[in-house]
Structure 1
Amino acid sequence: MKIIVDMDRCQDHGQCVFSAPEVFRLNAEGHLEYESVPDDSLRDAVEEAADVCPLQAITLEG
């Protein structure tokens, strides 16, 4: 699984951080950082994170 976040659309709301904190995090400046190729055991949490993104900026491949 590969995660792609459209950083032009992302407004750092952080909803993904609540759904999958092992993958998504806000840095000290409040901007989103994430692991683009997380372990497949986190798929359910990552799919939920993509679903709850208010701007639908998260895409999953594979």
Structure 2
Amino acid sequence: MRKKKTSVDRLQISRFKLDSLLDITLSINDNLPTEDLLSKYESILRNKLGIGKIIIFKHSLRWECIL
């Protein structure tokens, strides 16, 4: 029975990963603005994964914190 539970857990994690990747990919293909993409990414990290601290940098002429 334990093996079946482990398989179900792995399937749920894989499905979550694929659904999240699809959501971001479709957003990119829809040419959403950077702010919207970052918002979706932040939502996945905070709400679905429970990650509290996030920081993302962008480099143009200098490094800039964008999230």
User: TM-score normalised to the size of structure 2?
Assistant: 0.30
- Structure having the higher strand fraction is 1
Greater length-normalized contact order (CA 8 Å, ≥ 6 residues apart): 1
- Structure having the higher helix fraction is 2
Larger radius of gyration: 2
